[in-house]
Structure 1
Amino acid sequence: MKQLTRLFSATLMAAALSITSTLHADVWDTATHGYADNDGVRIHYATVGEGPLMVMIHGFPDFWYSWRHQMEGLQDDYQVVAIDQRGYNLSDSPDGDENYDMTLLTSDVAAVIRSFGEDSAVIVGHDWGGMVAWNFAFAYPQMVDRLVVINLPHPNGMQRELTINEEQRANSNYAQRFQAGSPSDPDIFFGMPMMPQTLAGWVRDTSARERYIEAFGQSDFDAMLAYYKRNYPPLPPIAETAPPPSPEVPQLNVPLLVMHGLDDTALHSDGLNNTWDWNDADTTIVAVPDAGHFVQQDAAEMVTETLRWWLGARQQ
């Protein structure tokens, strides 16, 4: 009986270790990689899981691995596809600022969805990926099942805060530097040169940081700045009253989740106000205290579980 008990305990322990190992398997080792072609520009992606298609879009300075925690947490219910935006890591980096126009960035996402043989997907974006996600929903509403934007206010909210919010205007000084500067400027990146090591300085996970350094070593710094030069709005004259919403920004009609780390020093949370006015479908806003700009890593479990709950409540 003692031998049976020991054998049973050992079997349980081995099973538990196997489950734990599976749960904590890094998508770096388990993801499948591929490319979508968009008019000759190859967009690299990493994918895990099975189910409805979900496309995740990173920001600056980042790459597909930014979503590793969410990919691990959602792969049982979705086919999660995290892309490298053009100019980053393994995606192509066409020359010229004009090749980073928002119309092309959004068409990259459409090309990825079509490469999987699908007509639509759940769209998730952070930072510049959030701006691409907003604009993708404006330009391709029929291809958006549900929309998730993380730490990037709606363009109407962003323009308003740039006009009336002194703190947001000050926070956006870096964007004006990027618009006017060059990767060769010695202090272009918050007082530092643009190098893989400095760009990866925000990554807290030391093992992940090495992968970021490798990815940035394969990226195009001119392309990174081209996002700002081509798409970031010019700083408007300061005013005491908010400007009216831009007539060029379409009204949305899609289930919308907006998440925002409240310690973000680049994008003020006041930009979230009135988001519900610009979307005719249900709108959920989640503010995450004690998390910064990269909230999907700073509060990884909360972001993943919120996504799971919110998406599950809106199963099609």
Structure 2
Amino acid sequence: MLARIQKNWKQGFIPTNNIQLHYVSQGEGPLMVMLHGFPEFWYSWRYQIPEFAQSYQVVAPDLRGYNDSEKPQEISAYAMTELVEDVKGIIEGFGNQKGILVGHDWGGAIAWHFAYAYPEMLEKLIIMNLPHPAEFSKGLKTPQQLLKSWYIFFFQLPFLPEWFLSGNDYSAIAAAFREMAIDQTAFTQKDIEAFKEAAAKRGALTAMINYYRCAFRDLLEVSNRNWGVLEIPTLMIWGEQDAALGKELTYGTKNYVKDLRVRYIPNCSHWVQQEQPELVNHYMREFLQETFA
């Protein structure tokens, strides 16, 4: 495995919601769960795990379908309700009733929905480069965001997306990181090979794409939902040069979160916690130390 587990890290499998999820963890103390996005796996948190393990028990799972986690075949297995229950099982499986939830991209989408489903299980919420579901739904009605989200519609096709992403030794996976990054030194060849290796595991690529196939079916429900106001203190970190998600998608978040902090990072892409890890870690630490009335 190219993504090496550091010797003082732990890894294992946790049963949750009738499947087994692989995870990497380090540290002791209050629980902090980190949820990665597409097309990643736990490795996208390699800069945050050791940083926050000094104060927390950090757990970074591979989401269902990714890397070494179990990979259900049915598209319906990747419904948001299932993904939320996976997280609930992780928190409970580590013997906690509450935790801090950190999510990027798809992990951020799951984190938003989890916060609405189980607010009593969260102390604080940290979201990176993924808008509130209601704001993303609104954004998809604009030509600007529709153009940026072309891949969502492409992923609805059978077989062709898998062929495209796996072709030429997963060159599209490599390009997603290298060409979207503003800092071209952010991803080493070792990093790229690690993401390619995870995507190449049997059944992983289809499972990863099935997130989009299933979510597409639920777009109307998300659009029509009456979203309330979250009471959970929330930090949103946003790389401003995100090629897939416009910064304007963040502006309406204040309508859905009572205690909200937003930190924009200029000259940074969608891969914010990997491209600007020191600044991301600083903003996270600052937020976690803040006391909310």
Which TM-score band (shorter chain)? 0.7 to 0.9
Give the Cα separation in 1 of the matches to 2:191 and 2:8: 15
Question: Residue type matched to 2:172 in 1?
Answer: T
Secondary structure at the aligned position of 1:69 is classed as coil
Give the Cα separation in 2 of the matches to 1:167 and 1:299: 26
Question: Residue type matched to 1:85 in 2?
Answer: L
Instruction: Quote the residue 2:159 is aligned against.
Output: 182
Q: CA deviation at 1:213?
A: 2.5
| 1:216-235 correspondence to structure 2 within 5 Å | 216-218=199-201, 220-232=204-216
Q: CA deviation at 1:250?
A: 3.3
1:70 to 2:48 alignment? yes
Contact 1:38 1:111 in 2 (8 A): yes
Distance 1:233 1:96, change over 3 A: closer
Give the Cα separation in 2 of the matches to 1:303 and 1:233: 33
Distance 1:194 1:39, change over 3 A: farther
Contact 1:264 1:291 in 2 (8 A): yes
Q: CA deviation at 1:168?
A: 0.8
Contact 1:27 1:72 in 2 (8 A): no
Question: Residue type matched to 1:75 in 2?
Answer: A
1:301 paired residue among 278, 284, 289: 278
Contact 2:11 2:22 in 1 (8 A): yes
Which structure has the larger Rg over C-alpha atoms? 1
Q: CA deviation at 1:222?
A: 1.2
Normalised by the length of structure 1, the TM-score is: 0.82
Distance 1:248 1:35, change over 3 A: farther
Give the Cα separation in 1 of the matches to 2:15 and 2:162: 33
Give the Cα separation in 2 of the matches to 1:286 and 1:184: 34
Give the Cα separation in 2 of the matches to 1:181 and 1:230: 13
Q: CA deviation at 1:210?
A: 2.6
Number of equivalences = 279
2:252 paired residue among 254, 274, 278: 274
Q: CA deviation at 1:90?
A: 0.8
Distance 1:158 1:39, change over 3 A: closer
- The structure whose RCO (Cα within 8 Å, separation 6+) is larger is 2
1:314 to 2:264 alignment? no
Distance 1:30 1:183, change over 3 A: farther
| 1:146-295 correspondence to structure 2 within 5 Å | 146-163=124-141, 165-182=142-159, 186-187=163-164, 189=165, 193=167, 196-201=170-175, 202=177, 204-218=187-201, 220-232=204-216, 246-280=224-258, 282-295=259-272
Give the Cα separation in 1 of the matches to 2:168 and 2:8: 31
Q: Deviations over 1:48-104 (max 9, x none)?
A: 112210000001000001001011211111111111000001100011101111011
Secondary structure at the aligned position of 2:70 is classed as coil
Question: Residue type matched to 1:193 in 2?
Answer: G
Contact 1:28 1:65 in 2 (8 A): no
Q: CA deviation at 1:159?
A: 1.3
Give the Cα separation in 2 of the matches to 1:313 and 1:193: 47
Instruction: Quote the residue 1:124 is aligned against.
Output: 102
1:44 to 2:22 alignment? yes
Contact 2:124 2:233 in 1 (8 A): yes
Question: Residue type matched to 1:305 in 2?
Answer: H
Distance 1:211 1:95, change over 3 A: same
Give the Cα separation in 1 of the matches to 2:200 and 2:237: 30
Q: CA deviation at 1:196?
A: 4.3
Give the Cα separation in 2 of the matches to 1:117 and 1:296: 27
Secondary structure at the aligned position of 1:265 is classed as coil
Question: Residue type matched to 1:117 in 2?
Answer: G
Question: Residue type matched to 2:60 in 1?
Answer: A
Give the Cα separation in 2 of the matches to 1:152 and 1:41: 26
Q: CA deviation at 1:265?
A: 0.6
Query: Alpha carbon RMSD of aligned pairs, Å?
Result: 2.3
Instruction: Quote the residue 2:184 is aligned against.
Output: none
**Structure 1 unaligned runs (5+)?**
1-25, 237-244
Q: CA deviation at 1:160?
A: 1.5
| 1:38-117 correspondence to structure 2 within 5 Å | 38-117=16-95
Give the Cα separation in 1 of the matches to 2:169 and 2:115: 33
Distance 1:260 1:212, change over 3 A: same
